[in-house]
Structure 1
């Protein structure tokens, strides 16, 4: 009996659809979402990249703006030499996902602009960029 109830409840969840808050996402009013990447291990990096991809798929690339800010060990995400990760980053860039590198981290780790994937923006401080985006109404997600 418990299995049947659990199965029915699970089926109801599958039928439930997300109810959008007003104003609904649109080309003129996209959702603005910012993700940080602060850890340099493959699992952490890929989790954020996959989360950003899933959000974009759900809303549609024209109804969402995504920025991924990399600092501390997460700066590894933006290095050309990390071939597999760089391919994922470039793929997301084709959908206008912004990738932002922390200049402070770059100085600390002796990373030069030419070490980064082409198209990456550099800001003075990644954490400050997160604060400013939040104050401008961007939704901060930490997967």
Structure 2
């Protein structure tokens, strides 16, 4: 009898768990709801792959356009390594995209370590660019400040 009771309870739980996981009608899930008045995200780019760069810039724009985050989102784009092409005047592939994001308040940050290693001067970069001593240091500090770090 005891064995039968355990089997009955087990069968009940197996049937109940899937229905408990569905807390709403199919198709009515709306994603996470914003519960804070302010959100912060830092996107990091360290590749010269133009598809990855375009994807990252589009992701930033998508986040800025998200109605849940509208007017609540602070964004920084930290560029280092091969991604330095994003901010270079002599390679203006992304100039319009970053200018548009900058007008929306996105901080455009460039790693000074990358600049030294690759012998890039500030004059070679767009004037909207800000500078950080190291990209890794910036990411560490931002993480500890509670920023979400996104790597496309």
Coarse TM-score class (shorter-chain normalised)? 0.7 to 0.9
Match of 2:30 in 1: 17
Instruction: After TM superposition, list the pairs within 5 Å mapping 1:99-118 onto structure 2.
Output: 99-118=108-127
What displacement does 1:82 show?
Answer: 2.2
What are the Cα deviations for residues 2-28 of structure 1, in whole angstroms up to 9, with x where unaligned?
xxxxxxxxxx44x4212325xx243xx
What are the Cα deviations for residues 111-139 of structure 1, in whole angstroms up to 9, with x where unaligned?
10011111211111011101100000000
> How far, CA to CA, are the matches of 1:49 and 1:102 in structure 2?
18
> How far, CA to CA, are the matches of 1:81 and 1:63 in structure 2?
34
Match of 1:87 in 2: 96
What are the Cα deviations for residues 15-55 of structure 1, in whole angstroms up to 9, with x where unaligned?
4212325xx243xxx21001100101210111110111111
Structure with max Cα Rg: 2
Q: What is the aligned counterpart of 1:51 among 45, 50, 59?
A: 59
Q: Report if aligned partners of 1:101, 1:122 keep a CA contact under 8 Å in 2.
A: yes
Match of 1:7 in 2: none
Q: What is the aligned counterpart of 1:35 among 38, 43, 47?
A: 43
Q: How many residues align?
A: 126
Q: For structure 1, which runs of at least 5 residues remain unmatched after alignment?
A: 1-11
Q: Report if aligned partners of 2:86, 2:93 keep a CA contact under 8 Å in 1.
A: no
Match of 1:8 in 2: none
List 4+ stretches of structure 1 deviating above 3 A. none
What displacement does 1:73 show?
Answer: 0.5
Q: Report if aligned partners of 2:86, 2:92 keep a CA contact under 8 Å in 1.
A: no
Q: For residue 97 of structure 2, give the secondary structure of its aligned residue in structure 1.
A: helix
What displacement does 1:87 show?
Answer: 1.2
Match of 2:18 in 1: none
